[in-house]
Amino acid sequence: MVEAQRRLMDHLGVPAWLAVSGGSMGGMQALQWAASYPDRVRSVIPIATTLKHSPQQIAFDEVGRQAVMADPDWMGGDYYGHGQPERGLAVARMIGHITYMSDQSMEEKFSRRLKTEGFKFTFDAEFEVEGYLRNRGAHFVRRFNANSYLYVTRAMDYFDLSGDKLFKPGAPIPRFLVISFKSDWLYPSYQSRDIVTALRSRHGDVTYVEVNSTYGHDAFLVEYDEQTRLIKSFLAKTHAALTSAPTRHCRDGRTRRPGVGPGVRQGRPPGPPRQRAGRQAQGIELREESIYECVEKGLAVITATSKAAWGSSPTGILIS
């Protein structure tokens, strides 16, 4: 997927991205951009994502795939011209929606409310949550291809940038803003902290924010205000760092800043920022509002629900 995007980037003549961002599978692609083309990415914002799928995440994907393939209308994948396996794909989507929500958000949205008064002793959708899931499944089959669902979920299961695979030795490391959500049990916060730990072990410039939300994995789609506040400030700082760099004198006597001028116009991306040698101080903040204020001031900060949340401090972190 990222390779296809890179080819479009070259076709459009874009030398480098100011930022690559995405949530869930989009976050995996953002991480892949940093791993494959770190010199063409100035910053990365992975949201509610992971370096690799856990066995539980693979298991949920497999149940969805089996639901599709168990539908007789799937026809071994050669269903074109006959209509796609709507029943199996709808069930797969219903399973997915359960993982996107938290227990609290489902309680608040549905509780045990019935669609009509009293039990009907049938297998129709009597509870509101049943009706919601069936509706979501029915809508999904109208806009998504069953075989695409199989391949996309398999691609997510294959994805793995854990260990030392995120960055090659000596590769430049873009700035990172990593965002997770407290109630997300599909992509839990510990997976985002794994990303942060990997970056800090390479002395990367990383900010991590765990947003207090009750929406589960869906939070990255609905918590607009919190994410806007964080991302707006982060991008402003990233852009300012590129445009306010010290000017350099060219051989013809002109001056220019790194990242602007003839090199970019000729299609050559500006060089990545240099990595600082040695250890870098990093703040761990416990108060949510203080975290947002730090990001707005351009300071790198890491969220922790307690000072013991990280176990031992990641490399270079100063607990304050």
Catalytic residues, which ones? 24, 184, 217
| Contact by Cβ (8 Å): 137, 90 | yes
DSSP letter at 183 equals T
Alpha carbons 238 and 283: distance in angstroms, whole number: 19
Alpha carbons 30 and 9: distance in angstroms, whole number: 14
* Residue showing tokens 């006597």: 253
Across the beta sheet with 175-181, the strand order is 20-23, 43-47, 175-181, 206-211, 301-303, 283-285, 318-319
Which has the closest alpha carbon to 50: 227, 178, 216, 142?
178
Residue by residue, DSSP assigns 239-301 as: HHHHHSSPPEE-TTS-EE-TTSSHHHHTTPPPPPPPPPSS----EEE--HHHHHHHHHTT--E
What would you report as the CA-atom Rg of the chain, rounded to the nearest whole angstrom? 23
